[in-house]
Amino acid sequence: MTVKEIFETMDYGTAPESAGDALAWITDQGARFGHFIDGAFTDPGDTFATINPASGEVLAEITKGSGADMDAAIAAARRAQPRWEKQGGKARARFLYALARLLQKHARLAAVLETLDSGKPIREARDIDVPLAQRHFYYHAGLAQLLDEERPDTKAHGVCGQVIPWNFPLLMLAWKVAPALAAGNTVVLKPAEWTSLTALFFADLCRQAGLPKGVVNIVTGDGTTGAALVGAEVDKIAFTGSTEVGRAIREATAGQGKALTLELGGKSPYIVFEDADLDSAVEGLVDAIWFNGGQVCCAGSRLLVQEGIAQRFHGKLRARMDTLRVGNPLDKSIDVGAIVHPDHLSRIRQLVDGRGEGTPYRAKTAMPEGCYYPPTLITGLSPASELMQEEIFGPVLTATTFRTPSEAVEIANNTRYGLAASVWSENINTALDIAPKLAAGVVWVNGTNMFDAAAGFGGLRESGFGREGGWEGLDAYLAPAEGKALKPVAAFTGETAEPQPVDRTAKLYIGGKQARPDGGYSRTVYTRAGKLIGQAPIANRKDVRNAVEAARGAGGWAAATAHNRAQVLYYLAENLSARGDEIAKLIDRMTGGRTGKTEVEASVDTLFTWAAMADKAGGEVKQVPIRGVALGMREPVGVIGTLCPDAAPLSGLVSVMAPALAMGNRLVAVASEPFPLIAAEMIQLLETSDVPAGAVNLLTGTHAELAPTLAAHADVDAVWCFSSGDLDASVERASAGNLKRSWVSGGRDLSAVTTRDWLAAATEIKTVWIPYGA
The residues of the shown chain that bind ligand NAI, judged by CB under 6 A, are 163-167, 190, 192-193, 222-223, 226-227, 230, 240-242, 245, 248-249, 264-265, 297, 347, 391, 393
Q: Which is nearer to ligand NAI, 228 or 639 (CB)?
A: 228
Residues counted in the chain: 774
Name the residue whose CB lies closest to ligand NAI: 226
Least distance (Å) between residue 83 CB and ligand NAI: 29
Give Cα 194 to chain centroid, integer Å: 24
Which amino acid, 774? A
Rounded Cα distance between 393 and 344, Å, is 9
Question: What DSSP string runs through 68-121?
Answer: HHHHHHHHHHHHHHHHHHHT-HHHHHHHHHHHHHHHHHTHHHHHHHHHHHH---
Residues 6+ apart with CB under 8 A from 353: none
Residues 6+ apart with CB under 8 A from 306: 272, 273, 274, 401, 402, 403, 408
Least distance (Å) between residue 665 CB and ligand NAI: 26
Rounded Cα distance between 103 and 174, Å, is 10
Question: What DSSP string runs through 417-448?
Answer: --SEEEEE-S-HHHHHHHGGGS--SEEEES--
Least distance (Å) between residue 733 CB and ligand NAI: 16
Least distance (Å) between residue 231 CB and ligand NAI: 8
Q: Which is nearer to ligand NAI, 391 or 549 (CB)?
A: 391
Burial of 756 (0-12, 13-18, 19+ CB in 10 A): middle
Phi, psi of 571 (to 5 degrees): -65, -45
Q: Which is nearer to ligand NAI, 237 or 734 (CB)?
A: 237
Question: What DSSP string runs through 303-338?
Answer: EEEEHHHHHHHHHHHHHHHHT--B--TTBTT-SB--
Element (H, E) at 619: strand 619-622
Q: Which is nearer to ligand NAI, 255 or 580 (CB)?
A: 255
Rounded Cα distance between 583 and 678, Å, is 8
Please list the alpha-helical segments (H only) found in 235-306. Answer: 243-253, 278-289
Element (H, E) at 173: helix 169-182
Given the residues 17, 85, 193, 263, the one annotated as active site: 263
Rounded Cα distance between 243 and 338, Å, is 24
Q: Which is nearer to ligand NAI, 136 or 565 (CB)?
A: 136
Least distance (Å) between residue 189 CB and ligand NAI: 10
Phi, psi of 354 (to 5 degrees): 65, 25
Least distance (Å) between residue 136 CB and ligand NAI: 16
Q: Which is nearer to ligand NAI, 252 or 759 (CB)?
A: 252
Going across the sheet that includes 619-622, the strands are: 359-362, 376-379, 396-402, 302-306, 269-272, 420-424, 442-445, 763-771, 628-636, 619-622
Instruction: Let me know: does 563 contact 647? Beta carbons within 8 Å.
Output: no
Instruction: Let me know: does 691 contact 572? Beta carbons within 8 Å.
Output: yes
Least distance (Å) between residue 127 CB and ligand NAI: 20
Q: Which is nearer to ligand NAI, 193 or 620 (CB)?
A: 193
Question: Measured in Å, how far apart are the chain's first and last C-alpha atoms?
Answer: 40
Phi, psi of 455 (to 5 degrees): -110, 130
- Alpha-carbon distances, residue 567 vs 65, 608, 614 (angstroms): 57, 10, 9
Least distance (Å) between residue 9 CB and ligand NAI: 36
Least distance (Å) between residue 459 CB and ligand NAI: 9
Q: Which is nearer to ligand NAI, 62 or 670 (CB)?
A: 62
Least distance (Å) between residue 560 CB and ligand NAI: 34
- Alpha-carbon distances, residue 140 vs 136, 202, 442, 475, 587 (angstroms): 6, 16, 21, 12, 48
Element (H, E) at 201: helix 197-208
Q: Which is nearer to ligand NAI, 294 or 596 (CB)?
A: 294
Q: Which is nearer to ligand NAI, 192 or 630 (CB)?
A: 192
Instruction: Let me know: does 159 contact 78? Beta carbons within 8 Å.
Output: yes
Q: Which is nearer to ligand NAI, 291 or 557 (CB)?
A: 291
Please list the alpha-helical segments (H only) found in 469-578. Answer: 470-475, 541-553, 556-559, 562-578
Rounded Cα distance between 385 and 119, Å, is 30
HSE-up of residue 764 (Cα within 13 Å, Cβ side): 31
Element (H, E) at 633: strand 628-636
Exposure letters 638-653 (e unless 16+ CB within 10 A, then b): bbbbbbbbbbbbbbbb
Least distance (Å) between residue 264 CB and ligand NAI: 5
Least distance (Å) between residue 221 CB and ligand NAI: 7
Q: Which is nearer to ligand NAI, 385 or 702 (CB)?
A: 385
Exposure letters 2-24 (e unless 16+ CB within 10 A, then b): eeeeeeeeeeeeeeebebeebbe
Least distance (Å) between residue 347 CB and ligand NAI: 6
DSSP state of 750: G
Tell me whether residue 124 is one of the annotated catalytic residues: no
Exposure letters 37-70 (e unless 16+ CB within 10 A, then b): bbbebbebbeeeebbbbbbeeebbebbbbbeebb
Q: Which is nearer to ligand NAI, 241 or 725 (CB)?
A: 241
**Active site positions, annotated:** 263
